[in-house]
Amino acid sequence: MKTTPSKIKVLIVDDSVLTLTILKSILEQSPDFNVVAMARNGREALSILETTDVDVISLDLHMPVMDGYEMTKILMAKRPKPILVTSISVQENKSTNIFKLLEAGAIDVFPKPEKGFEFGSVQALAYINKLRLISKVRVFKHRSPMNDNDEEKKQYGHEVKINPNSYLNQSQQSKSNLITNNPELVAIGGSTGAPEVFSTILSSLPKNYPLPILCVQHISEGFINSMIEWLDSKCKLKVKLAEQGEKIQKGYVYFPKDGYHMTLTSQSYINLTRQGDKVNGHMPSIDVLFESLHSHHSKQTIAIILTGMGKDGAYGINALARDGAITIAQDKSTSAVYGMPLEALKLGLIKFVMSPPEIADYLNCVTTEQTCG
């Protein structure tokens, strides 16, 4: 006798009665959702959550009494739940606020159409799919310290412990075990749960960091500019939108535009293109970036794959590893979604498994006279 799968229990939080009604109707057209409660502000939502169990929360940002940011901070400190920020606030003057919610613990963002959702529209279906995926994400109490060691470090890669207070005393032999080339650039790919990880890593690097950093983040269309502004405000490095034909420079962090793949030429010039299809369901794709580096820059690259769903980046980072790149996967205990790092590890060539603070420490020590290990 088959067991009927349990429905995904949803709490919708929005100050608009019309929006609540529309979102509820959209979700309940899908057989795997059950909207168990609705609230018009964060305080009301927190009160509901005292007695009602949910699997995922669809949360607006701007609300009276208690906005989405304050609610997220309180909830993630007490009773963490996966949160999808569903907001119209993608305008230039508001959208950086969205990333405060991600920093506080929300998992992802989804742009609410300015004219509202239409039943059966592409946006409505995308909202359903995004919420379905978010409901499966691991969440942490106001974000866990991101430094736990985990079993997969022993199973798939070298266990690495990098503590800024202790690695200075390690031997040069230990350093040689960690540094296997003379890196000239860093490449990082991330998806669900990764914006906060990018913040943790990039904000730990100094203004005069001697390597350029190329990044790809899977994120809903309309948010990448705001994510760049948010990261730039938190980092000593310059975080910017990549421009066609520009030569990468040390101390700069580059992200591609919405809907463009980013590659690097043999002479270290950025190439942005819409040509071809999405790769692994994404444009920009992490694999596209990594494979371009594999063609010309393998031995000079530190390649890092962060939390995220799917397998984008797994093939490319292993191709880089085969040709001598330093390769790092985020560890399971700090990954909101242990999809992309695990897929990369399964291919067998990831060198190190690290938490975000360990990755930041490693990136700092490989470019100095400090020892790592």
Please list the active-site residues.
191, 218, 312
Q: Minimal CA–CA distance to 172: which of 327, 339, 371, 27?
A: 371
With beta carbons less than 8 A apart as the criterion, state whether 270 and 246 touch: yes
Residue 246: both structure tokens together = 């520009």
